[in-house]
Amino acid sequence: MAFTVRLLLFSCLFLLPVSVFAQTNGSIAVGDSLTATAANSSPWLSPSGDFAFGFFPLGSNGLFLLSIWYAKIPDRTIVWYADRDNEAAVAPKGSTVNLTANSGLVLKSPQGEELWKSEISVGVVANGVMNDTGNFVLQDRNSESLWETFNNPTDTLLPGQKIERSGTLSSRQSETNYLKGRFQLLLQGDGNLVISTINLPTEFANEPYYSTDTTSGTVAGSEGKELVFNVSGYLYVLRENGGKYNLAGEEVVSARDNYIRATLNFDGIFAQYYHPKNFTGNVSWTLRWSEPDDICQRNREDSGVGVCGYNSICTLKDKRPTCGCPKGFSLLDPNDPYRGCKPDFIQGCEEDELSGTKYLYDVEVLTNTDWPTSDYVKVYPFTAERCNESCFQDCLCAVAIFRSETCWKKKLPLSNGRVDVNLNSQAFIKVRKDNSTLQFPPMPNPDDKKTKKKSSNTVICVESIILAASIFVSFMFSAAACRGFFFVFRKKHVRSVENILDSNLHSFSYQELQEATNGFTEELGRGTFGVVYKGTIQIGSGVQVAVKKLNGVIQDGEKEFKTELRVIGKTHHKNLVCLVGYCDEGQHRLLVYEFLSKGTLASFLFTDIKPSWRQRIEIAYGVSRGLLYSHEDCGTQIIHCDIKPQNILLDDYYTARISDFGLAKLLMMNQSKTHTAIRGTKGYVAPEWFRNMPITTKVDVYSFGVVLLEIICCRRSVDVENNCEEKVILTDWVYDCYLEGELDAVVDYEVQALGDKTTLEKFVMVAIWCIQEDPSVRPNMKKVVQMLEGVVEVKVPPCPSAFVSQV
């Protein structure tokens, strides 16, 4: 008996180390798998436990990143992650990764869709190994490597890792966004190690802003062969002749006592960091070396937009760039200051000529700030005052830089903005006094010369003008001045007194518009109200416009036509298309709008390539603000009655601009596209049109809710070709998905949208509130904007079709 007990104890002592080794030797058997869930996300560890391979949770949004990270450091810094076609393979909750014999690692979504796999060209996988170097290796039965993460780097190098010629590192989009960023480190075919910006979504690289110049030069064999990060922590370019180009100097920190990594950061800086292996308390990574020293100053015309994006200013802080916007500009993405800035106003030669520059702009002065690659004019010798005035009077000029008797005038978009204390310069920035598209300035009373001399800042608007018929020319000038602008055309025509007094829009002749559109030849689109043609009006230099020929306008309704146009003409908001003028001649009724080159929201949304989530969010904000203005802020309330993606245009900055405002009243009753006496388009029409109920601004709220769902889902409101009957009507399908908690399906498992799930859920809930059949339950546009912007809490919406009408 005693012998038996001793034998069992001996056996346990023998088996115990074997069991521990089996759990920590880093070897993974074919058939093993991991699942992306909070409860079952134990990773595969390296023998020392330093590195982990598995699903890394991305916040609390239910998304995971298949990756390798430092397991013993509290912040668990990621050193590698799976990507497909240079995009991070972000996986939703419930995804699995399996180790297979034929394909190696295979990542699949909960629905079984293959998200990513390791590329095994030859051989059969026998097992996987998570090494203490941080390298995950797939081996055959002879322990030969078939695939490894060291040969497929993302943004980080580890000791023992190399990059051969044509090998790259790609930055992330941001610290927490693992989509491919704008920076690339490349060991070129000529042996030169360079860092460049990439013009996404293509792979085109701009000229490098950093290089080692390890090319052949005058010494044979001096070109770089590979970028080496050896096990001792040395980082260098190994030359063909065996020489070395040290990137991080001769001295290194101990690789035995420290974790060491080299990362191409999301802001374009390639840096080496170290972190002690044995530590107590809150210890972070320490920067040992980085290039370039000042990325804000690495500006060349052929180097791309720069680290901070267009219209922004880069400032170096602790060797890392920070980005900001000048006055009058705001971030394209409030959550990402590196994407650039957009002007909060619309600058253009047409607006300046019509309104007068001095009434439109103020000047903001910045010191030691420059956008060195946006010049279009250089003037020398000059003074600061003349430089400022020259830009102020130039409709193309956004900023003027004055330094050393030289004036550089720059136009939008501004690129590579930076602060440099050594510049000794002044920047004069033109900033719009308000955010409107056009500002009609008050004009001075021509009879009060003394008042004009005493104060150039005091202007008196002529509200009413009583003129004698004998001085017609004086009348024409004064009346036009009261409204703030007038057009000069090749062929002048006589306008009636009623036209000038009753409208601040320009009255065109039919012949003028026929000539401007070259005989109405280039069609831009057609819809409920008519056909739109592209044209050019000669105002100094040619100005592009969109000319709409109205169909079926109310008969014998000249007075109502002009009344409505007066109302429309007074609307000026950055989210509304500006109406420039009209033609009312015989049977011809035409409208002249500003031309927006990016086309309709419909053509932007309903394509094979889905627009980015952030772009769609900004467009939704813009449409809601434009509707709010028309309903509550523009003096006379305007109901659009036909809100749909075809009636929403995009400007050069993809800002949403609603068109065809107020035209519903001009349409003959039998011109409706859906039903007699109903204004609007099928799929967007509010139920009250069919129920003999009063038509209010709530019809626009309903249509906006449908459009908001289209923006979220990038699909049309009615899709009769959809194979799934449940998905044909967008509003019904989205509400069902919302009830079942399946919003992932609404955005087709789009990574960016799921990464911003709070906004996604909020926008869907707001849309459901908007499409309530009972108009009294729908919020007004002010409440909608407040809910979208997070000012007001969005409560759980009721079922949209709960309202039963009394017929």
Q: Is 244 annotated as a binding residue?
A: no
The answer to whether the CB of 374 falls within 8 A of the CB of 359 is no
Judge whether residue 68 has pLDDT over 70. Answer: yes
Q: What is the pLDDT of residues 276-299, one digit of tens each?
A: 999 888 889 999 999 998 888 875
Tokens 């619309």 found at: 346
| SS3 readout for 751-776 | HHHHCCHHHHHHHHHHHHHHCCCCCC
- Mean pLDDT score across all residues of the chain: 80
What is the pTM for the complete model shown? 0.55
- Who wins on pLDDT, 121 or 501? 121
Please pick, among 155, 352, 420, 642, the residue that the annotation labels catalytic: 642
Q: How many CB atoms neighbour CB 409 within 10 A?
A: 21
Where do the DSSP E strands lie in 508-550?
Answer: 523-526, 530-539, 541-550
Q: Is 642 a catalytic residue?
A: yes
Query: Between β-strands 320-324 and 341-343, what pairing exists: parallel, antiparallel or unpaired?
Result: unpaired
- Who wins on pLDDT, 473 or 422? 422
d(CA 328, CA 331): 11
Judge whether residue 480 has pLDDT over 80. Answer: no
Where do the DSSP E strands lie in 265-390?
Answer: 270-276, 286-291, 313-317, 320-324, 329-331, 341-343, 361-367, 369-370, 375-379
The answer to whether the CB of 161 falls within 8 A of the CB of 79 is no
| SS3 readout for 579-628 | EEEEEEECCEEEEEEECCCCCEHHHHHCCCCCCCHHHHHHHHHHHHHHHH
Give the per-residue pLDDT at 680.
57
- Which amino acid makes up residue 439? Q
Q: What is the pLDDT of residues 127-175, one digit of tens each?
A: 999 999 999 999 999 999 999 999 999 999 999 999 999 999 999 988 8
Residue 576: DSSP 8-state: B
Confidence of residue 421 (pLDDT cuts 50, 70, 90): confident
Could you tell me which of 189, 188, 184, 160 has the C-alpha nearest to residue 171? Answer: 184
Where do the DSSP E strands lie in 334-374?
Answer: 341-343, 361-367, 369-370
Confidence of residue 461 (pLDDT cuts 50, 70, 90): very low
d(CA 760, CA 762): 5
Q: How many CB atoms neighbour CB 117 within 10 A?
A: 19
SS3 content of the chain, % helix, strand, coil (to 5): 25, 30, 50
d(CA 673, CA 618): 30
Ordered domains of the chain (ranges, CATH): 19-152 (2.90.10.10), 159-292 (2.90.10.30), 323-432 (3.50.4.10), 442-483 (no CATH), 487-594 (3.30.200.20), 605-802 (1.10.510.10)
Give the per-residue pLDDT at 280.
84
Which range has the worst mean pLDDT, 405-419, 679-693, 785-799?
679-693
Judge whether residue 471 has pLDDT over 60. Answer: no
Give the per-residue pLDDT at 5.
40
Counted residue by residue, the chain has a size of: 807
d(CA 740, CA 29): 38
- Who wins on pLDDT, 451 or 244? 244
Q: Residue 508: which H helix or E strand, with range?
A: none
